[in-house]
């Protein structure tokens, strides 16, 4: 399965965005993905603001991007755009740090006035960094993210439905090339087995061998279970 970097761009110590991402991380892990959580606020401010590309923490963040097949980018909306902290981190990454990766953009905000911030502000930046596929993003109002009595995240019903949908689209996009590769590999293995069976068949029964080969080659390929 895939390795997914889950990046929160909020500077807040009680960030709703970060809590939302950690909640979604668990959903991705349930689907078998390895999740690498990263809070931009944990990186040293002086390294980010001083563009210290060689700082070990920045090098570490860069390596997380390199390891990831896909990235979830979550940001609070600040002044009608993504956070400055997120931009400071993206600025110390290589220009094509998202090359070949599938990306899910998410935002939280206080007002629906800026629901399009993902599309007019964040998406172009992700695209300029080489993202191979930016799936549909989602904006969640901060009032739809509350803490339950046990401290767990409680998401408003409508927001939860939208999130579940975009997360499923993202996970499916991430999984699709792997399912295809597995099918191709299985097909190749099958073809090899068929050739071997035909070679090993007694000389006087070529017809049976090729019938058997045909049966094997056309049997349905077992597909991974996807709920």
Ligand X SMILES: Cc1cc2nc3c(=O)[nH]c(=O)nc-3n(C[C@H](O)[C@H](O)[C@H](O)COP(=O)(O)O)c2cc1C
Nearer to ligand X (CB atom), residue 10 or residue 102? 10
User: Toward ligand X, which CB reaches closer, 9 or 194?
Assistant: 9
Report in angstroms how near the CB of residue 85 gets to ligand X at its nearest.
9
Minimum distance of ligand X from residue 108's CB (angstroms)? 3
116 close to 122: Cβ distance less than 8 angstroms? no
Cα-based angle 170, 175, 178 (whole degrees, multiple of 5) = 155
Nearer to ligand X, 2 or 16 (CB): 16
Rounded distance, CA 12 to CA 160, Å? 22
Q: CB of 49: closest distance to ligand X in angstroms?
A: 17
For the bound state, the minimum distance from the C-beta of residue 16 to ligand X, rounded and expressed in Å, comes to 4
Phi, psi of 145 (to 5 degrees): -120, 105
What is the contact surface with ligand X in residues (CB under 6 A)?
10, 12, 15-17, 76-80, 108-111, 114, 142
Closer CB to ligand X, 79 or 199, in the complex = 79
Task: Check if the beta carbon of residue 141 is closer than 8 Å to that of residue 112.
Answer: yes
Q: What is the DSSP letter of 43?
A: S
Distance separating alpha carbons of residues 11 and 8, to the nearest angstrom? 9
């Amino acid at each position: 399965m895939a390795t997914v970097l889950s990046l929160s761009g909020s500077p807040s110590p009680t960030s709703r965005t970060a809590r939302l991402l950690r909640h979604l991380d668990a959903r991705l892990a349930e689907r078998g993905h390895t999740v690498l959580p990263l809070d931009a606020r944990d990186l040293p401010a002086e390294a980010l603001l001083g563009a210290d590309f060689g700082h070990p923490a920045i090098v570490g963040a860069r390596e997380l991007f390199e390891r990831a097949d896909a990235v979830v980018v979550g940001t609070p909306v600040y002044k009608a755009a993504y956070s400055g902290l997120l931009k400071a981190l993206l600025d110390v990454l290589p220009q094509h740090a998202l090359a070949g990766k599938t990306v899910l953009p998410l935002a939280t905000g206080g007002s629906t006035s800026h629901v399009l911030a993902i599309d007019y502000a964040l998406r172009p930046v992700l695209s300029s960094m080489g993202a191979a596929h930016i799936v549909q993003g989602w904006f969640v109002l901060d009032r739809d993210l509350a803490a339950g009595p046990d401290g767990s995240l409680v998401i408003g019903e409508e927001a939860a439905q939208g999130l579940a949908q975009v997360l499923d689209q993202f996970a499916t996009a991430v999984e699709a090339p792997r399912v295809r590769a597995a099918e191709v590999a299985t097909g190749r293995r099958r073809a090899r087995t068929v050739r071997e069976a035909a070679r090993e068949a007694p000389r006087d029964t070529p017809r049976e061998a090729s019938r058997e080969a045909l049966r094997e080659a056309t049997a349905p390929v077992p597909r991974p279970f996807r709920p």
